[in-house]
Amino acid sequence: MKLEGRKAIVTGGSRGIGKAVALMFAKEGADVLVNYHSNDAAARETVAEIEKLGRRGIAVAADVADYKSAQNMVDECVKQLGGVDIVVNNAGVSKPSMLLKMPEADWDYIINVHLKAAFNTTQAAGRYMKEKNYGKIINVISTAGIFGTIGQINYASAKAGIIGFTKSASRELGRYNINVNVICPGITKTEMTGKLQSDEKLRKIYEGRIQLGRFGEPEEIAPAFVFLASDDASYITGQVLGVDGGYIG
Ligand code: NAP
């Protein structure tokens, strides 16, 4: 097992990509804090599946965009699971609209849930990790943050910002043996991409932008997280790893 005895936080770990990551971490021997925002039932179900794998799971509701909530969540992991070795900043939402029509509140909301959240949790967990001289932080972006997009400038900007955040954090935290990397999933079959999956015309357009010609399953994205969270990736930091079927923008 690659993560034996590790304590991991997966934000937005109750559904979609985060759930697949939380379960794969548990299969590899980690205890997992499953963070979520409001869907208690999904979080409880994920925790039950973690426990069936013989690991400890705890569900913690916290708005990662909120500084205090995110910091309390990290404290809770240390209190209940006995430490924090791995943080996956995965929680996410989208609020599409065109730049010229975008309400200010939608800009702030998306920047906070993605970019500010990465700051909130990385700062809190980084302080514990520094003490242990060990840690793995994995942030999540999107091809929108690399290629840009029409109709989601808030989301693309937040994701692009996370690349800069990661590269700077990796420079500051490397001296404490903390690796900080980014995973860029391609279009993945989760609730977030429901419309892309169900709208035949849209689906064909987007599939045409992917070298493998299809959307990914959450279980095809998760193994890259195990790799970066494990000591197989001990000499990798400040990198962006695409797991996107060959997305060509
Ligand atoms: P999803 O299935 O819609 O799940 C979103 C998760 O985030 C849920 O667990 C949700 O909790 C949680 N969440 C939302 N807002 C939150 C907040 N303020 N605080 C804490 N948790 C919050 O999403 P997904 O498709 O798996 O996406 C996961 C990540 O991958 C996101 O960062 C997304 O931008 C990125 N991504 C996704 C795709 C894709 O094609 N799906 C592609 C590239 C990147 P509740 O259940 O309580 O709402």
Pocket test for ligand 1, best of 9, 36, 94, 141 (most atoms within 8 A of CB): 36
Residues forming a β-bridge with 159: none
How many Å separate Cα 14 from the centre of its chain? 12
Phi first, then psi: give them for residue 65, nearest 5 degrees: -75, -15
Which ligand 1 atom sits nearest the alpha carbon of residue 13?
A: 9
Tokens of 143: 């091809």
Q: Token pair of 95, please?
A: 């609020």
Sign of the dihedral defined by the CA atoms of residues 7, 162, 192, 228, in that order: negative
Does ligand 1 lie within 6 Å of residue 193's CB atom? yes
Instruction: Check if the beta carbon of residue 243 is closer than 8 Å to that of residue 152.
Output: no
Q: What is the CA radius of gyration of the chain?
A: 17
d(CA 56, CA 43): 14
149 within ligand 1 shell (Cβ under 6 A):
no
Specify the pLDDT at position 71.
Answer: 98
Confidence at residue 224, expressed as pLDDT on a 0 to 100 scale: 99
Cα of 14 to ligand 1 centre, how many Å? 9
Question: Whole-structure pTM over 0.85, yes or no?
Answer: yes
Which parts of the chain fold into alpha helices (H)? 16-27, 40-52, 67-81, 104-111, 117-132, 144-147, 153-173, 194-198, 200-207, 218-229
Answer whether 65 contacts ligand 1 (Cβ < 6 A): yes
Ligand 1 contact, 185 CB (< 6 A): yes
Residue 16 beta carbon below 6 angstroms from any ligand 1 atom: yes
- Token representation of residue 230: 């494990």
Residue listed under structure tokens 């290629």: 147
Q: One of 36, 155, 176, 235 is an active-site residue; which one?
A: 155
Could you confirm whether 206 is annotated as catalytic? no
Quote the pLDDT of residue 249: 80
Instruction: State residue 218's pLDDT score.
Output: 98
Residue (of 122, 120, 158, 123) closest to 141 by Cα position: 158
CATH topology of domain 7-243: Rossmann fold (3.40.50)
What is the mean pLDDT for each group of 10 consecutive residues in the chain (249 residues)? 98 98 99 98 98 98 98 98 99 98 98 98 98 98 97 98 99 98 98 97 97 98 98 98 95
Closest residue CA from atom 41 of ligand 1: 188
Q: In a 3-state reduction of DSSP, which class is residue 241?
A: strand
